[in-house]
Amino acid sequence: MAGGSCQWPVAKCRHQSHARWRAANGRAAASGNDDLPPSRPESPRAVTGKDLHGLCWWLVEQVLGGDLETSRASVVATLVRVLLALGREPVDQDEMLRRAEIHGLLMHGVPPRTPDEWERAERILSPETLEMVKGWAADW
């Protein structure tokens, strides 16, 4: 059976991965709660932040620690390859112009002028460059 729920009652299930899941989730073998779905783990910060490098290292840690089955890790690794093949997310024309505006200001030694410009600068500049620009703003 591919991808479905286990057809065995919890007390009679012989699959080691299910036994590990019951032990990790505090489920007794004869709990009577066979119909309860497993709780969904919280997404790692690398997923919510769209950080593929961080996600890959998290994946390695989970597999080596025995917290993630290799079949699930394989699915995640395949999805990472797909995301890498897709390339960067497209940026709309207006956003590209706003980024060019920030770079133009910085090229002429002018720090961001509005909270919106500062927010954009924080998203597109490296931490070191952002610190340098904040120094300019103090002198501006």
Query: Does residue 104 carry a pLDDT above 90?
Result: yes
Residue 109 Rama label (left phi>0; alpha psi -120 to 50; beta)? left
Sequence spans of domains, the chain? 10-35+43-86, 93-139
- pLDDT the model gives residue 114: 93
Tens digit of pLDDT for each residue in 23-48? 777 665 444 444 445 555 667 788 87
Tens digit of pLDDT for each residue in 64-88? 988 888 888 899 999 999 999 998 8
Q: Which residue in 67, 73, 60 sits closest to 17, CA to CA?
A: 67
Q: What is the DSSP string of 75-94?
A: HHHHHHHHHHHH-SPP--HH
- pLDDT the model gives residue 3: 47
